[in-house]
Structure 1
Amino acid sequence: MTPPAEVGTLAQLVARAAELWPQRMAWIFDETGERFTFAQVDAETSRIAAALTDRGVGPGDRVAVMLRNQPAFPLIWLGLAKIGALLVPINTNYREFDGAHVLRHSGAKLVVAAPEFTDLLNRISLAEVITPAALSRESDHLGAALSRESAAFTPVPETPVNLQYTSGTTGAPKGCVLPNRYWTTLAISLATDFPAVGADDVILTAQPFHYIDPQWNVALGLAGGATLVVLDRFHPSTFWAKVREHEVTWFYCLGLMPTLLLRQEPSGADRDHKVRAICASAIPLDLHAELEQRWGVPWFEAFGMTETGGDIRVGAADHDETVGTGCIGRPSRDREVMIAGDDGKPLPRGETGQLLIRGIGLMHGYHDDPDATAKAFRNGWFCTGDLARMDDAGRVYYVGRTKDMIRRSGENVSADEVERALLLHPAVRLAAVIAVPDELRGEEIKAYVVCDGERPEPAALAAFCAEKLAYFKVPRFWAFADGLPLTPSERVAKGELRKVADLRAGAWDAKVETWL
């Protein structure tokens, strides 16, 4: 049996799990009750791999998937990994503008989508669209599933397996080329080091599969032999009931989720669960201790990025001392961290600078964007665009970010992408989008708009945006102006816009549909 340290591909993870724990439950889909053992995961992904091969999909080809949290998503992903092809996840909230960009830029050969999305994708008309049911029927007709012996291509650790789109600091979402080693490095680290997820664990994910988190949860379950419970999505009012129902022992959450959970009415059953640890990103500092007290379980901060995977996390030894401090932990075994100054050189401990990361299993680069890739890497170090400091013990503390990015309810929103969508409106001549601090969502979005001729109603602009972009990218606050401050290079001087004491004052609030 291949030891974990020597497993370098998703295909190897699947094969190893099927051999070690063939009848153990690998996945439970809560909404439908569908269940898969590790042996069934291996067999079903091979059938899908064979069906995709029969359709002409081969090494290096990209297949886009637009599905909600259903078994077909991870089955197709792992099937593609077995034949050296790449998954291109499409956010289920995308519309024509952002969806077309991902399809066009990725060069997807095929799209597998739920029936609810096929009309949208056919309007975009950039690739053939089929449903999971059609793909399943094709795999049934093949008779014999793809076997490891008959596979025409054997993936290696550096074989790309995902083209994962993420909102960049500027422009449209960029496609991160993620190799097999990205997933195995992350999964094996979590299985062998803290939190040491193993065959006695039941883990849970509530995020959409088009994000990386459910995907690395799949890889983690395969690496450690844990059962993965998949919820249809995050429901604050029933989340802990599901945790108790499925006897979950560990889960990861992020963004607004901890705050929304705390806002639920306390219950005598709050501590009636089997969870031994919770990992989360961006735990609210002033709520960290309250989270632990209410559910009687430690919450551990973690830091990672789509480009780099799992990089830094708090372990058991540092937990008690760092609750509520903003500490994100120490680098994982496969990572090195540097806090660098503007010259790229390391700063003394305690000083704030840019967080740089290097190690094995990082993305290969941004697809078809060598300039962005060159900017992201500096002498082998990935520049996160985040500010941090390191204490004398080598623990990292998150300080802030340098990017022109809005973080709304856990979603990264590129201001530039929203501005470009607004400029598609015939009345809009200039647009600028900035973040507005918000107690609940972390940040909200405000749009400043300069129009030619008659100004449209802000509700009409919001509706226009909703047709072009995912709902979480649509600005909440709107302001009209005759002009905007510009830099010498003719860019909007957003620093001037942010100097207003109350960014909400005088704006139209789409939530309450009134001027403030």
Structure 2
Amino acid sequence: MSETIPQLLRQAADRYGRRDFLRFPDHPALSFAEADAVTDRLAGALAARGVRPGDRVAIMLDNVPGWPLTWLATLKAGAVTVPVNVRYRAADLEHVLRDSGAVATVTTEEHAPHLPGTVHLLAGLDDDAPAPRVRVGAGDVANFQYTSGTTGFPKACLLTHDYWTRTARILAEAVQVRDDDVLMMAQAYSYLDPQWATLVCLAGGIPLVVLPRFSASGFWRAAREHGATLTYVLGSMPLLLHKQPPSPEDRGHRMRLVLCSGIRPGLHREFEERWGAPWRELYGSTESGPDLLVPLDDAGSVGTGALGVPPPGKEVVLDAETGEILVRGRPMMTGYWNQPEATARALRDGWYHTGDLGVRDEHGRIAHAGRIKDMVRRGGENISCAEVESVLTEHPAVLQAALVPIPDELWGELPKAFLQLRPGHAADAATAMDVVGHARRRLARFKIPAYVEFVEGFSLTPSARIEKRHLLPPGRDQRAAPAIPVHEERT
């Protein structure tokens, strides 16, 4: 059994040889054997440019074959990968590169102007230098994987080779990989998900199709075109897919399983009926990998909100005092880079404190009940942002919604809603009042937003959730225009 990512790649190259491994639209497919050979050359090129074992190498690339190939090559060189979101600019970019101590960044001419320090262009890594002979262990760090950072700058999770290979085995077993499977991903490669998908395909000997980006209108068309049988969606992706107009071709695909994090219970059955494939919950985090999974044959969980059962090697419980979901076992990060206090808070007495709230149903199954910190404290009442957002997005005009707390002298905090509208709806006071009226019929009075602001779009975290910290820049009056007051604040 492979204990490191380079071992997993070499084993796949020996076992699956000329089978397709990486398929990117507009690029020739790469076989397992070709990927092994190319990454040997890239590892040699990195070493020839001074990259040594333990050095951090940042990758700032779009969804192109060079991303996974550079990742695998960096690990073959004994170095550590720092995935960088190509959308990062200024503060975000400076923070990740400075905090990680990256000695070099592999990128393209398009992104190079935004980068300080040593830059290697992907097209220039074409040396014939032999791959370095480096001993890599299961406990060695493979990634500085920066977390979502919804409310503050992200922290780097230290993820070892053991973390990754265990994750690959758990998920390959969960989806019950078959020889005719094709796994399709649409998230940015700097996010965790295409990376574990790469390793699942190495473990199972199946092709990975990587789309340039997620497109709600093009997702199922791509699934049909590429013959995808497996996929994973999360965050806002399911709702955006659901809000696409129904089509006679909705069931015209080979998809046999959709993994999803955060399936809305009220829409779960609709998803399955519309697209004719089972949707199964996968719960986990960057820090801890996969923690709970709903088995493929568990149709009884559909619509319940149940998160599933722990995989082998994991335990999941609810904290008796707060209802927080706690996890222990492997895979697990070894900590946060340069953040001993944050590590101590997250990993206490052998348990990882997820920050997620959970509840158990009458069958003992855990369901997600929001984030501990994703709350608005209005007077003596706690408001779950996720609950209000769910109601707001039920309105036909609303594409996506984010609820945030803004300071208030009397109440402490008030809820403010940021709304992205669907095409054809006016971003005006009448629409704001209509959306809030919808919420007022569904929610307690204290949960109704006091202000609404329309936005053209949202910046998303690696888990495809709205990055709320960008909505509240310091010094801005959140009550002033373009915010629209829609609810009586003092009652």
> In structure 2, what is the equivalent of residue 353 of structure 1?
323
1:204 paired to 2:172: no
How do 1:209-358 and structure 2 match up within 5 A? Answer: 209-318=189-298, 320-342=299-321, 353-358=323-328
Please say if 1:129 is aligned against 2:119. Answer: yes
CA positional deviation for 1:449: 11
- Alignment correspondent of 2:157: 176
Name 1:11's counterpart in structure 2. Answer: 6
**Contact 1:169 1:405 (8 Å CA) reproduced:** no
TM-fit CA distance, 1:373: 0.6
SS at match of 1:20: helix
Distance across 2 between alignment mates of 1:390 and 1:302 = 17
Tell me how far 1:316 sits from its aligned partner.
Answer: 2.7
Q: Which runs of 5+ in 1 are unaligned?
A: 1-5, 343-351, 407-433, 451-461, 463-475, 478-497
Structure-2 separation of matches of 1:45 and 1:117: 22
Q: State the Cα deviation string for residues 70-122 of structure 1 (Å, max 9, x = none).
A: 1111011111111221110111111101110001100000011222211111x
Deviations 1:264-321 (A, max 9, x none): 2222221121111111010122111111001111100110101111111100343x21
In 1, Cα distance between the equivalents of 2:407 and 2:85? 26
Residue 198 of structure 1: how far off its partner (Å) = 3.6
Structure 1 position 444, deviation (Å): 4.6
Aligned counterparts of 1:174 and 1:405: Cα–Cα separation in 2: 21
Deviates more, 1:194-203 or 1:11-20: 194-203
Partners of 1:88 and 1:163 within 8 A in 2:
yes
* 1:405 CA drift (Å): 8.1
Contact 2:375 2:405 (8 Å CA) reproduced: no
Measure the CA separation in 1 of the matches of 2:318 and 2:401: 25
The counterpart of 1:55, out of the listed 49, 54, 75, is 49
Confirm or deny: 8 A CA contact 2:57 2:79 kept in the other structure.
Answer: yes
**Inter-CA distance 85–326: structure 2 relative to 1 (3 Å threshold):** same
1:96 to 85, 90, 96: 90
State whether residues 288 and 330 of structure 2, in contact with CA within 8 Å, keep that contact through their aligned partners in structure 1. no
For the pair 1:161 / 2:142, whether they are aligned, the reply is yes
Mark the runs of 5 or more structure 2 residues left unpaired by the alignment: 377-384, 394-398, 410-417, 419-426, 429-443, 458-480, 485-491
Q: Does the alignment pair 1:33 with 2:27? A: yes
Q: In structure 2, which of residues 164, 171, 181 is the aligned counterpart of residue 190 of structure 1?
A: 171
Partner secondary structure for residue 101 of structure 1: helix
CA deviation map 1:362-400 (0-9, x unaligned)? 111000111111111111111101111345755322112
In the alignment, does 2:68 pair up with 1:74?
yes
Provide TM-score, normalisation by structure 2.
Answer: 0.79
SS in 2 for 1:366: coil
Given that 1:300 and 1:315 are in contact with CA atoms closer than 8 Å, whether structure 2 keeps it comes out as: yes
Evaluate the alpha carbon distance shift between residue 257 and residue 170 of structure 1 in structure 2; reply closer, same or farther with a 3 A threshold: closer
The equivalent of 1:372 in structure 2 is 342
Q: Establish whether residue 84 from structure 1 lines up as the match of residue 78 from structure 2.
A: yes
Contact 1:83 1:154 in 2 (8 A): no
Contact 1:111 1:129 in 2 (8 A): yes
The one of 112, 128, 133 equivalent to 1:118 is: 112
Greater shift in the superposed pair: 254-263 or 438-447: 438-447
How far 1:404 moved relative to its partner? 4.4
Query: Is the CA contact 2:40–2:73 (under 8 Å) kept in the aligned structure 1?
Result: yes
Cα distance per residue 1:24-62 (max 9 Å; x no partner): 0001002x2331000011011111111111111121110
Q: 2:375 and 2:29 mapped to 1: Cα distance?
A: 39
- Equivalents in 2 of 1:114, 1:296: separation in Å? 40
Contact 1:63 / 1:112 at 8 angstroms: preserved in 2?
yes
- State the Cα distance separating 1:174 from its structure 2 match: 0.3
CA separation in 2, counterparts of 1:20 and 1:160? 26
The letter for the 2-side match of 1:53 is A
Paired with 2:236 and 2:187, the residues of 1 have a C-alpha distance of: 12
Give the aligned CA root-mean-square deviation in angstroms.
2.6
Instruction: With the length of structure 1 as denominator, give the TM-score of the two structures.
Output: 0.75
Q: Does the C-alpha gap of structure 1 residues 442 and 328 become closer, same or farther in structure 2, counting only changes over 3 Å?
A: farther
What code does the residue aligned with 2:276 have? G
CA distance in 1, matches of 2:185, 2:453: 36
Report whether the alignment pairs 1:402 with 2:352.
no
1:405-484 equivalences under 5 Å are 437=389, 438-439=392-393, 440-444=399-403
- SS for the counterpart of 2:189 is coil
Structure 1 counterpart of 2:56, which letter? Answer: R
Distance in 2, matches of 1:405 and 1:166, equals 20
> 1:454 maps to which residue?
none
Relative distance call for 1:393 and 1:156 in structure 2 (3 A) is: farther
Looking at structure 2, the residues matched to 508 and 443 of structure 1 have their Cα atoms a distance apart, in angstroms, of 10
Which residue identity lines up with residue 232 of structure 1 in the other structure?
P
* AA of the residue aligned to 1:321: G
CA gap of 1:511–1:152, structure 2 versus 1, over 3 A, is: closer
* d(CA) in 2 for partners of 1:52, 1:240: 38
Alpha-carbon distance in 2 for matches of 1:35, 1:47: 18
One-letter amino acid of the counterpart of residue 242, structure 2 = L
